[in-house]
A and B are shown apart, each in its own frame.
Chain A
Amino acid sequence: MSFVSLGFLAFLAVLILLYYLVPKKGQWILLLAGSVFFYAFAGWSALIFIAVTALSTYLAGIYIGKLAADRDKYIKEHSAELDKEAKKAYKAKVKKRTYLIMSLCLLLNLGMLAVIKYTDFGISIVNGIFRTNIGFVHFALPMGISFYIFQSMGYIIDVYRGKYAPEKNIARFALFVSFFPQLLQGPISRFDELSKTLYGPHKFDWNKFARGAWRVLWGYFKKVVIADRMITAVLALSGEPEKYTGVYVVALVLFYAIELYADFTGGIDITIGVAEMLGIEVAENFDRPFFSLNITEYWRRWHITMGTWFKDYIFYPLSVSPKMLKISKWSREKLGQAIGKRVPVYLSTIIVWFATGLWHGAAWNFIVWGLLNCLVIIVSQELSPLYTRFHKRFGFSNTKGYNVFQMFRTFWLMGFIRVLDVYRDVPGTFRQVWSVFTTANWGNLFSGSFLKLGLTLSDFIAVLAGCAVMFTVSVLQNKGQVRDNIILKRPVAVRLVVFVLIALLITIFGAYGIGYDAGAFIYGQF
């Protein structure tokens, strides 16, 4: 069920109504039922996959929890007779077992993900290397599988690390895995954070409800008015790469940046807003990323929960693992301090970005996309002392103008890397980007050829106006939430009328129905 559908709106209305009518203790059960219903819409077979993930992770968590509890009890009971070494040995023994259970759980779930998502990709590689001709299997990707498996894996790793006790109630755990607003495209929540508010009880809180509703409205605005309109031009430009070179590639970079941002953040706004209407707090996923001064910062502000997931569960463990420390030691001895110091960090970085690329999709364009990000990050890391010296000498690094230049630079750099997504063809993308420098067709900006991409002049005006609103809101957010600072300070009647007006505007200016591609949320496919 897409967020942009009448079915979803109806589902939401009924769910929220029931949510505040049923006894408070039953609220989370209702949410679980709603989530199952929501997921069943994508087909019953998809339910099996999420059930396997929920059940296996739940059982593994319980088992690890039990082993840890037994261990603590044993040590406590025998603390007198055990010396430090014996305790340590015992702990290590238990840890081995919990590690095994966690690994099995990871293996099962990531294996499932790998088989479904990457089999065809693997086959294509095998075919490429061995010149074989193995047929593709074409598994249908169950909705949101990359998101809920990552969320569950974060949970089991945390339980293994002893960060928190495992959830004992399987139904409650199932709700954590399947909570419907974040099924489609995240955020990837952490159990300790989400569980604080997920299970209620929640009394109806007008302010929370209104804040959530405003955020949902804002999400729909971005998604329906801007993203779903822009996608037509993005598809047209990327669909005929031979025709659209040079200035069109620059336009595509810009259009896709707008579309992806509006689509993804819009979807997340709806997710978080819906949760807020239910009294539940979901982690933020964006922090106005296009205002970032450099790529490292950009990745701290874009798709935040994915970034921290990779950092906490792959980057850190990898780079501080005994093996990596050994490599570090070895490289320091052989290659000298300067390089040796960098080896573990950079090696982990490369692996993480490779994985990030692969997570986004089973295709070379995503992998190259990940590695290009990685390259830029490492290069800028290496150049940073140079920058610092340079700025110290000329002393303009903190001027507003320079910051704007940095944002501009980051925006376009990320934009050009990002078009790998839309061309889905690695050499093709490089050809296209190269054509920006070789094809002098900037005159087309004013020749009217942009009106042949499926968008009329009024569509472009609508997008432009939408972007202006989006930009203004982002700037206003410098001083905190617009809802708190501006909207919620007005009288209720004014707020209601403005809310309704915006809803009407979305109804009119939204790009939906006949003539518009019913664009699925872009991130739903990963």
Chain B
Amino acid sequence: MKKVTKKLIAAMALVLICAVCFAYGCASDPGDSGKTQTPAGNNATAAPATSGTSDDNGYVFKHGDVTVIMNAPAADIIAALGTPRSYYEEPSCAFEGMDKTYSYGSFDVTTYTEGGADYISGVVLWDDSVETPEGLYIGAKAADVTKAYGVDAAGKTNVSVTRGKSNIIILLKDDTVTSIQYLAIY
């Protein structure tokens, strides 16, 4: 009996030591420590946030209750947007794969092909009947750009804002927005 107790104590002491080390391991940021020595490592791929909140989709375009997310699978989004006013597909020079443009009058949605499926590659806004979720529309002023996206647009001909895998290009003329385009960042 006595022997067993002592063994138990020894084992527990060991577990404790390991636990302390482990707990410390938890406390420190593991990402920082190993990075420089990991050429074959996978930190880079793990880096972009993927935890699933809406922020991670980057800038999105909303039409009614349809959300157009850059690089998202296109099929469901296109279906939800209803029948386009016109549709154009552009084959690439040789090779499979097709860039498709769905026009809905006041905006176009474009897609690219990868691995047999279509993904959203961009949205172009054509007139002031539509606006971005941040409240920017064609005809708005440079100050509105600042209000919506926090960048200074006064006196510029174009500004570009990026969040996640989504990029919005805003063109201006005489401090008035003339074009708003979403671009997927591959």
The reply to whether A and B meet directly (CB within 8 Å) is yes
Contacting residues, chain A, for B21 (C-beta < 8 A): 367-368, 371
The CA-CA distance from A177 to B143 in the complex, in Å, is 67
Interface residues on B, range: 35 or more
A242 and B33 contact, CB distance less than 8 A = no
- Known contacts: A371-B21, A375-B18. The answer to whether A125 contacts B28 by CB under 8 A is yes
Find out whether the CB atom of B17 lies under 8 angstroms from the CB atom of A243: no
CB–CB B37/A128 < 8 A:
no
**In chain A, residues 375-401, which have Cβ atoms closer than 8 Å to a Cβ of chain B?**
375, 378-379, 382
Asked if B45 is at the interface of the complex by the 8 Å CB criterion, the answer is: yes
Which segment of B2-10, B57-65, B81-89, B149-157 sits at the interface?
A: B2-10
Chain B 139-163 near chain A by CB (<8 Å), digits 1 or 0 = 0000000000000000000000000
A422 neighbours in B (Cβ, 8 Å): 42
Cβ-Cβ contact count across A and B, 8 Å cutoff: 117
A235 contacts B45, CB within 8 Å?
yes
- Interface residue count on the A side (C-beta < 8 Å): 51
Contact, CB under 8 Å: B46 / A121 = no
CA distance A458 to B11 in the complex (A): 48
Closest to B29 in A: A124
Residues on A close to B: CB < 8 A?
117, 120-121, 124-125, 128, 136, 138-141, 231, 235, 238-243, 335-336, 338-339, 342, 346, 350, 361-368, 371-372, 374-375, 378-379, 382, 422, 424-428, 519-520, 522, 525
Please name 12 pairs of A and B residues whose Cβ atoms are closer than 8 Å in the assembled complex, sorted by A: A125-B28, A141-B37, A231-B40, A338-B6, A368-B18, A368-B22, A371-B21, A422-B42, A426-B30, A520-B39, A522-B40, A525-B37
Q: Which 10 A-B pairs have the closest CB atoms?
A: A363-B34, A364-B25, A239-B45, A426-B25, A128-B28, A425-B30, A124-B33, A363-B33, A427-B26, A121-B33
A sample of 18 more A-B contacts (CB under 8 A), given A346-B10, A424-B31, A424-B42, is A121-B33, A124-B28, A124-B32, A128-B29, A139-B36, A141-B37, A235-B42, A242-B52, A339-B9, A363-B30, A364-B28, A364-B33, A371-B17, A375-B14, A379-B11, A382-B11, A428-B30, A519-B40
User: Which B residues are within 8 Å of any A CB, using their own CB?
Assistant: 3, 6-7, 9-11, 14-15, 17-18, 21-22, 24-43, 45-46, 50-52
